Every structure is written in C-alpha cells, then in structure tokens.
C-alpha cells in the first residue's frame, strides 16, 4: 500500500514542502520571506489545506540538531524536549522547527516524524568528534562535533564508491569526508558556526578573538552569526554580488579569494584524513551554479591529478572532470526532502502502529 507523506524543510525564513507517494515526489514548493509565527502559521495552513484530500499517512520534518539521536523518530513530548534541549546549539533553526511541529499538530491528525541533519555523523570517530577541552565539561554539556547538512551530504554521495569529499556550498557551507558511504569527519561542529567561511557566519576563527570582543562589550552572537562571513569582509551578503564586483572592488576580491583558500585548505586536510581521493562533489546553490568557484578550487588540487572538462564545468553538467582526471568531480543537485522520504521508508517506522 502506498504511503503518502508531506515533508517540511523549514528554514530561518522559509518553508520548503513536498508531497511524496512512497519514494516518488509528486509535488513541491517553497515559501520565502517569512518573518514571524503568523507568517509560518498561515503558510502551513495553506499547504495542509492544499493536500487535505490526499489521506496523508505521515508528516515528516527536517530537524537541524538532534544531538545523540541517530535515526528517524516519531515525534512525542520526549523528542520535542530533546529538540528544545539542542536549540542552544542551533538557535536559528530548532526553535522554528518546534513552532512548526506545534502548528501542524493543531491542523492535522497525521503522525509526525523527525529526521535529523546530525544523524549522518553519529558514528564519526572519537578522534574527529572530540574537542580538546576538559573531558568532564564535554560530558556534562554534551559538547562534541555533531555536524550538519548531513541529509544533503548523504544524498549526493550515496551511490559513489571509495573515498569521497562532498562540498555543500549554500548560505551555510560545510565539507564532509566520506569513505564507503560512512562519514569520517565534517567541517561544522557542535554548532553550524564552525568550519568554512559562509554568507554571514564566520566559520572557524581564533577563540581568543571571541574573548577579546566580549571584553569590549560586543554582541558576539550577532557578530558571528549575522555580520561575518563574506558579508563581513565585502559588505555584500549575496555571493552573486561578490562575483560581479570583485574585478573592481578589493574587498569583494579578498572575500572571494578567502573562500577559495578556505575550501582548498579543508579539502586538502580531508584528502589526508581519507589517505587519497576518488570523488569530489559540489552541491547547493554556490556549488551547483558557480563554475568559476569549482574551477579555482580544482586548480588548487592539480597536484593529486584533478582535471576538469572546461565545457562540462561551464554548463554545470553532472560530471565535470576530464577523462584523464585521477579524481572524478561531480556537480549534484541536492535533495534533502527525497533523502528524508528514503530514511523514513527504509526505517520501518511507518509500518508500526
């Protein structure tokens, strides 16, 4: 019997939704520029009303931070409390997802399920997930590397054999090292702040900078989450504007060069972690659409035999490496909603009463 489900992918100001019949995506849409609870409520009511004749079997949600939860789970009060607990590590996302759960519950009787971005990294080695702070503090406060964008990294890498590095480059950016379909490391950490330079997020910086700015009375949360990244360097929070102005604007050029340097450095580190590389994947808005970014990163990897096919790269083809490249390079459109449907349908949860 076909399982019909609605999948919600909630952002800090948007809601993506999909209607699935088993593994088949029947319909999808995206509402953006949502500002407050009223906007979210109105949008959710509109989506649920649209599908009210479908006899929906389940409603699933992408939840950014699930802590130690390592598989899809039916939502109950205990699970909601866990999502709330980990809001401290994902304050831009988890609280919105809790709000959405509550709104949906009032409108629909269909059981709700959570699928977590952090699940893919639940098994990364201790050496990769442990921070060099007193272990008693790590244990007390659940401080460890959790990783994010896991649904995306898993989706774009799942049919690739061997040693793979995936680059999710959107508003948030992360890189993962994967071997035999298992994650070994990832650039985001306890929160989605660590790692690469992002649109408005700083990525990894010297912790001493944080201590120094705190002493000076600055709002560290706002600085690191909303005012940093390539916006903080160039003054532009749209990567397309950075690209358009970099030939004349030194700050835009610096921001671009730092992004390429940052990407190349972390990819290089993960080649060491993997002890080689078979596949390199670019995904999300910047990864899927900016040929120059891919070329400039891959030019830095020529020492391991990475070679691009110029025309394929410029046309954003799926496979962009040349026939004589020692590493296969791909551009893949991510689909977190399809990955969520697959996670749920293969979990057996939907067959339980």
- Look up the CATH number of the domain holding residue 261: 3.30.420.40
Contact between 292 and 256 under an 8 Å Cβ cutoff? The reply is no
pLDDT, mean of residues 8-16 = 88
Domain housing 84? 4-116
Compute the 3-state secondary structure of the chain and give helix, strand, coil in percent, each to the nearest 5: 45, 20, 40
Question: Is the pLDDT at 14 greater than 90, yes or no?
Answer: no
pLDDT of residue 353 exceeding 70, the answer is no
Residue 46 CB neighbour total at 10 angstroms: 13
Task: Provide the 10 A C-beta neighbour count for residue 130.
Answer: 14
Q: Is residue 175 part of a domain?
A: yes
338 in a domain, yes or no? no
The pLDDT value given to residue 161: 94
Q: Are 316 and 331 in contact (CB under 8 A)?
A: yes
Q: What is the pLDDT of residue 101?
A: 94
> Chain centroid to CA 69: how far?
17
The answer to whether residue 63 sits within a structural domain is yes
Tell me, what's the pLDDT at 79? 95
The sheet with strand 73-74 has its strands ordered as 24-31, 15-21, 4-10, 58-63, 112-116, 73-74
Domain count, the chain: 2
- Is residue 340 in a domain? no
The answer to whether position 210 is within a domain reads yes
Q: Does 214 map to a domain?
A: yes
pLDDT of residue 68: 87
Looking at residues 209-226, what average pLDDT do you find?
97
Instruction: Looking at the structure, tell me whether residues 324 and 189 fall in a common domain.
Output: yes
Q: What is the CA radius of gyration of the chain?
A: 21
- Based on the fold, state whether residues 175 and 295 are members of the same structural domain: yes
> Which pLDDT band, with edges at 50, 70 and 90, does 122 fall under?
very high
Please check the confidence at residue 13 and state whether its pLDDT lies above 90. Answer: no
Burial class (CB in 10 A: 0-12, 13-18, 19+), 237: middle
107 and 241 together in one domain:
no
Same domain assignment for residues 181 and 34 = no
Q: Model confidence over 171-212: pLDDT tens digits?
A: 999 999 999 999 999 999 999 999 999 999 999 999 999 999
**What pLDDT does 349 receive?**
93
Share of the chain above pLDDT 90, in %: 92
Contact 92, 199 (CB under 8 A): no
Q: Is there a single domain that holds both residue 182 and residue 301?
A: yes
Per residue in 261-295, pLDDT tens? 999 999 999 999 999 999 999 999 999 999 999 99
The predicted-structure confidence for 90-106, as pLDDT tens digits, reads as follows 888 899 999 999 999 99
pLDDT tens-digit profile of 327-343?
A: 999 999 999 999 999 99
The conformation of residue 321, written as its DSSP 8-state character, comes to B
Q: Specify whether 304 is located in the same domain as 174.
A: yes
Strand partners for 4: 21
Residues 172 and 311 in one domain: yes
Domain boundary among 87, 116, 145: 116
Active site positions, annotated: 117
DSSP letters of 32-61? ----SHHHHHHHHHHHHHHTTTS---EEEE
Would the pLDDT of 69 be above 80? Answer: yes
One domain for residues 18 and 165? no
Which tokens sit at 294? 């891919």
Give the whole-angstrom CA distance, residue 283 versus residue 253. 23
- The answer to whether residues 316 and 289 touch, using CB atoms and an 8 Å cutoff, is yes
Cβ-Cβ contacts under 8 Å for 199 (sequence gap 6 or more):
171, 172, 229, 230, 231, 237, 239
Asked whether the beta carbons of 63 and 114 are under 8 A apart, the reply is yes
Last residue of one domain, picked from the residues 116, 144, 173 = 116
- Residue 12's pLDDT band (cuts 50, 70, 90): confident
| Residue whose token pair is 């057996």 | 348
pLDDT band per the 50, 70, 90 thresholds, residue 351: confident
């Amino acid at each position: 019997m076909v399982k019909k489900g609605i999948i919600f992918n909630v952002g800090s100001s948007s809601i993506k939704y999909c209607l699935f019949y088993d593994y088949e995506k029947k319909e999808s849409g995206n509402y953006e520029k949502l500002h407050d609870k009223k906007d979210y409520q109105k949008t959710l009511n509109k989506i649920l009303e649209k599908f009210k004749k479908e006899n929906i079997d389940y409603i699933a949600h992408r939840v950014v931070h699930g802590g130690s939860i390592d598989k899809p789970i039916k939502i109950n009060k205990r699970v909601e409390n866990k999502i709330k607990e980990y809001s401290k590590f994902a304050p831009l996302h988890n609280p919105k997802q809790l709000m959405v759960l509550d709104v949906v519950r009032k409108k629909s009787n269909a059981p709700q399920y959570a699928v977590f971005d952090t699940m893919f990294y639940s098994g990364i080695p201790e050496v990769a997930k442990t921070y060099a702070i007193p272990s008693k503090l790590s244990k007390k406060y659940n401080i460890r590397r959790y990783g994010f964008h896991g649904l995306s990294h898993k989706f774009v890498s799942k049919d690739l054999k061997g040693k793979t590095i995936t680059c999710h480059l959107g508003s948030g950016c992360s890189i993962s090292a994967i071997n035999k379909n298992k994650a070994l490391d990832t650039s985001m950490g306890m929160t989605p702040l660590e790692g690469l330079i992002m649109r408005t997020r700083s990525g990894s910086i010297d912790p001493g900078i944080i201590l120094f700015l705190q002493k000076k009375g600055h709002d560290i949360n706002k600085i690191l989450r909303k005012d940093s990244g390539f916006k903080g360097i160039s003054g532009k929070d749209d990567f397309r504007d950075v690209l358009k102005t970099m030939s004349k604007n030194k700050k835009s050029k610096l921001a671009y060069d730092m992004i390429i340097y940052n990407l190349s450095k972390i990819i290089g580190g993960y080649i060491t972690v993997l002890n080689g590389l078979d596949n390199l994947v670019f995904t999300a808005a910047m990864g899927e659409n900016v040929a120059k970014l891919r070329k400039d990163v891959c030019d830095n990897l020529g020492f391991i035999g990475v070679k691009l096919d110029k025309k394929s790269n410029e046309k954003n083809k799926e496979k962009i490496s040349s026939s004589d490249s020692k590493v296969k390079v791909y551009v893949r459109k991510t689909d977190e909603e399809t990955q969520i449907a697959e996670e749920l349908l293969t979990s057996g949860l939907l067959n339980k009463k």
